[in-house]
Structure 1
């Protein structure tokens, strides 16, 4: 028996063990069986007896054959707007690579501050911070704006997927993704699910979270977390190219060789700036991030920045659509089945009965709320399923209402780093092929835990200073 066959048997055995285990009181049989399929799918993602797209598609097919999902429901994940935003982000990146604009931007950055891997890491972090308050879609920001630039930086320094990934590409990809995750925590307008927390807090607790209230609570621990990302990733994914002493000369030479901007680069520049404008003003225009990205792809095709063959050959986009769409379907069905709410209520009741006091009780709830993100492929879905219940239980055990509402809002975003499906931006960075899944999960757990510790120590002290508790 080879390794893949053994891993397949382990995956099936875990799913079967949960499937045939006694169904807990308060949980329906369908919900329990959906949980078995979801957990087996995640195990399959980890062990990879088959590529993850195949594992996800098999899980969806089994769910329809076993009667857990109707075919229309099983396929609904592929029509999710976030999935198509992911696909468009891949195609956006294809435009940056094919036109040469990404390479031009990358060499411009290298020329300005590219003395080392760390300086490039901080350039990515600073760029994320600057645009995050005005980009309410983490997928659009990370996947549509930053990823093409990060990918071009790696390529410009001779680091490509697989063989030369460790040269510097793995490091840059991880910095890009984890910076995107951290900036999501910092502003109401830096992630699509954050305004939902504001609305649910008003409805559930009767408290108002202002833009400045959220930002002032997150700014100190958030900035510290962001500053640590390039350093932590330098330790976890140490690049071969740590120092780039001749970076300025190399960049200038390449820029000279490229010559003036091409017609395609000029068109793409206009498209890029237009996308950024509409993503930043979505609150005013009421045009979502996905339609903007779709329009950008259409314009690129019309003006021959990319062609239809480029669209069809973008394997990363279609692979991500298969596995992310399947996972979103399963995660959504799991949330609708009521088992997630049952888990949340059970945890809340158990913790409340211990009589630990509000600090310890709220802390346990917060940690459970954070690491249960392994069960979700969407931050907004997790907020919808758990946020109101968890803030209500926390306040019931004595936690200050406004602080609770803000902190659970921030911690809706903290665990984005955990997995390669943690939010819509994750499949884009992961799909580049620079980081293995095991490395992604290891680094994600470390970064999530570091950010959690910072928010719960330095952050807690800062909240005391500003009178949040």
Structure 2
């Protein structure tokens, strides 16, 4: 969209956002006055992101716009708190690691090596993509980085197997790639932006620091494995198509010295993340330490020269803005208002089974993510977790885990930007993304949610 149409759309998006931002002051008079500004900012940001005119806002401007809005919502002490938050530095380290994985060729080697061993049937292809996506989530803590790395490889694989652009099988491979890079990865604490935003909000509001292994143990069976299986089965059922040609075996060359060094650093970082319940070192320090090791002379894995053009600074600004917005929401009393409304309105009761309370909280997060997207709901619902814990009788950790179960269930593609990126890179129609997202979300509620809740009962979380 160019010319006058683009200008009209931009003006329309801004006017719509401003109109929606004024609604909270009129529609929710029970809020404390200091909560009106952050709520208006939140609605404005959500409107500009999720409205039909989202494309009218330049992509490069969105993080800066959200950052400006967050500054308007959070007072100076909270802005300073954002700079020292675990979430911000975890993402900073993860972005550098992602650039190193791509620059050295280690990520492509790993992805191609795994994909080449999965066979030629459509089910095997989808299953292999699920395995690759989950493995990459452990070593490449950037969902956007994983999408950008894996999508071209899957495109090459699709071409080699005879899947032409626009065919059912082609669309399914790309949608499986976009979904696995974000949805099952929610089970791994540093692997997605919503997780680190939730971590930062919980740390700022409650002083609660989630541990990598504790989080993984609670989430991986249901949110990780079960959802990967759900995605594979849904995509296979909706998009299966026989390949026109057989895949060729890949013959990778020997690993370079930079690849070997990076593999050692990643293995050490993963080991430290997995044992953080023993040494209590923050996941952010581990990520930053791994990033710094990539720069060490005399032969750095990742040269500093030109690094600013390779690291996605916009993602860092987006995370900082979301953490700041969450802190402003909590400080203003809006979180208490949301928590009070949820406690009074939703069927939460300490006397009923814990799994039922967790189901309600997960549903709240799932529905809220439609309005403010997945990263946004982590910033908004997390500050209300204390009131939700009081109303449900669940421990705070369990409420946070239930929130993850909810925001990991995306109903529409715009809620999970990595899926949109994969679709854009491959030219997959938006309607196919809606079809796949809705099907995966429904199947997740029916299959993955019960698996998660049963697992938590067995662990003693419920």
CA distance in 1: counterparts of 2:254 and 2:43, whole angstroms: 53
Counterpart among 19, 26, 29 of residue 22 in structure 1 = 26
Alignment of 1:117-128 (within 5 A): 118-126=123-131
- In 2 relative to 1, CA 26–287 (structure 1 residues): closer, same or farther, beyond 3 Å? same
Structure 2 unmatched ranges of 5 or more: 160-164, 190-194
Could you say which residue in structure 2 is the equivalent of 1:335? 330
Confirm or deny: 8 A CA contact 1:102 1:148 kept in the other structure.
no
The farther-off stretch of 458-467 and 82-91 is 458-467
2:63 and 2:317 in contact (8 A); partners too: yes
CA distance in 2, matches of 1:167, 1:443: 9
Q: How does 1:238-249 map to 2 (within 5 A)?
A: 243=243, 245-249=245-249
Query: What SS does the aligned partner of 2:301 have?
Result: coil
- Equivalent residue, structure 1, for 2:276: 282
- Asked whether the 8 Å contact 1:4–1:50 carries over to 2, the reply is no
Contact residue 116 and residue 245 of structure 1 kept, 8 A: no
TM-score (normalised: structure 1)? 0.69
Return closer, same or farther for 1:22/1:73 CA change in 2, 3 Å cut-off.
same
CA RMSD of aligned residues (A): 5.0
**Deviation at residue 342 of structure 1 after TM alignment:** 0.8
Aligned length: 425
For the Cα contact (< 8 Å) 2:87–2:197, is it kept in 1?
no
TM-score by length of 2: 0.70
Report the Cα distance in structure 1 between the residues aligned to 2:429 and 2:62, rounded to whole angstroms. Answer: 14
User: Structure 1: which 5+ residue stretches go unaligned?
Assistant: 185-189, 204-209, 396-400
- CA distance in 2 between partners of 1:430 and 1:72 (Å): 35
Distance 2:237 2:273 in 1: 34
For 1:45, which of 41, 49, 55 is the aligned residue?
A: 49
- 1:296–1:12 Cα change, 3 Å: same
**What is the SS of the residue equivalent to 1:271?**
helix
1:225 equivalent in structure 2: 227
Match of 1:398 in 2: none
* 1:397-408 correspondence to structure 2 within 5 Å: 406=398
Structure 2 counterpart of 1:207? none
Query: Displacement of 1:227 after TM fit?
Result: 0.9
Question: Are the equivalent residues in 2 in contact too, given 1:182–1:225 (CA < 8 A)?
Answer: no
1:39-118 correspondence to structure 2 within 5 Å: 39-46=43-50, 47-48=53-54, 49-61=56-68, 68-70=73-75, 73=78, 77=82, 80-116=85-121, 118=123
Contact 1:320/1:428 (<8 A) preserved = no
Task: Give the drift of 1:19.
Answer: 2.0
What corresponds to 1:313 in structure 2? 309
Q: Is the 8 A contact 2:330 2:384 kept in 1?
A: no
Kept in 2: contact 1:57–1:323 (CA 8 A) = yes
1:287 is paired with a residue whose SS is coil
Structure 2 CA distance for aligned equivalents of residues 115 and 52 of structure 1: 37
Q: Give the whole-Å Cα distance in 2 for the aligned partners of 1:369 and 1:7.
A: 29
